Structure 1
Amino acid sequence: MSELTPPMRVTLRFESLLVLLLAVALYHYRDYSWWLFAGCFLIPDISFLGYAFGKKTGAIGYNLVHSYIGPALCALAFVFSPQPYWLMTALIWCAHIGFDRTLGYGLKYAQGFAYTHLGRLDDKHH
């Protein structure tokens, strides 16, 4: 695992903040339900339960739910089947991931929850 430089860490977190803001802005523009947004925003964090089965399983579960692959597939489904729930799901999911990564919660390594692609969570430079 290579060391993340402070400027790169700032860039990645700023990029995540922009994803969060764009997802929220598009959600607002589409005039979707904010109750639904609030009710679904933390659903991806259910993936933490994987850590009950060990660090590797936890990291895999967390990463499956906290990568942009799922929201991108939902957005693609919206393109081919313009049902609003596809885009709502994609936007809420992207907002969640952007929020987490803005706070420094990156994709996990098997060493443990604190080891992320954005650096260690308990790192003083974090």
Structure 2
Amino acid sequence: MYPKFILRLEGAGIAAVATAAYFTIGGPLWLFVILALAPDISMVAYLAGPRVGSAVYNAFHTYLTPVALGAAGMWFGMATVIWVALIWAAHIGVDRAVGYGLKYPTGFKHTHLSGATDPGTPAGNPAEAVSDAAGTRND
């Protein structure tokens, strides 16, 4: 099997488990519907450029934050916090399942799952085309 396929399958599994857990522990449908796309608000950061946009988008689309949030919710016995964490994990899982991956700073469509680049973006290692702090390009 190809790694991208495995990552997509993994995302589908996480989405299914997170969604099932959410409804099993009594999470309300209305909250799930309202928050299902909330992490995508992070795309607004692309207005500040692809480097900032990708960093913010990735921060909202990694499993680390909802796992930490869910653990805190369990530790403190806060059901609402656990619900939010499960919705968030389900969102990320669906994104991965359909091929939306973590973004490289070279362009919105250049992800760890797609391998696609935005028009005008050089192909190859994404890190090679990123400017360094002094503003010079590495390619």
Relative to the length of structure 1, the TM-score reads 0.88
Q: Give 1:47-86 correspondences, 5 Å limit.
A: 47-86=42-81
What does 1:1-126 align with in structure 2 at a 5 Å threshold?
Answer: 7-121=2-116
Q: 1:30 to 1:48 in 2, by over 3 A?
A: same
Cα shift at 1:120: 2.4
Q: CA deviation at 1:121?
A: 4.5
Between the aligned residues of both structures, percent identity stands at 38
> Which whole-Å CA distance do the structure 1 matches of 2:116 and 2:91 have between them?
18
**Structure with bigger gyration radius:** 2
Report the alpha carbon displacement of residue 31 of structure 1 after superposing the two structures with TM.
1.7
Between Structure 1 and Structure 2, which shows a larger proportion of helix residues? 1
Aligned residues: 117
Residue segments in structure 1 that go unaligned for 5+ positions in a row: 1-5
Paired amino acid for 1:56 = R
Query: What is the root-mean-square deviation of aligned Cα atoms in Å?
Result: 1.3
Structure 2: segments with no counterpart, 5+ residues: 118-139
Give me the TM-score of the superposition, normalised by structure 2.
Answer: 0.80
User: Whole-Å Cα distance in 1 between the matches of residues 115 and 29 of structure 2?
Assistant: 33
Moved over 3 A (4+): none
Residue 73 of structure 1 and its aligned partner are, at CA, apart by 1.1
Structure 2 letter corresponding to 1:100:
D
For each residue in 1:14-35, what CA deviation from the matched residue of structure 2 results, as whole angstroms up to 9, or x when unmatched? 0000000000110111121011
- Name the CA distance, whole Å, in 1 between partners of 2:5 and 2:42: 26
* SS in structure 1 of the partner of residue 2 of structure 2: helix
Measured in 2, the distance between the counterparts of 1:43 and 1:30 equals 21
Q: Which residue of 2 aligns with 1:3?
A: none
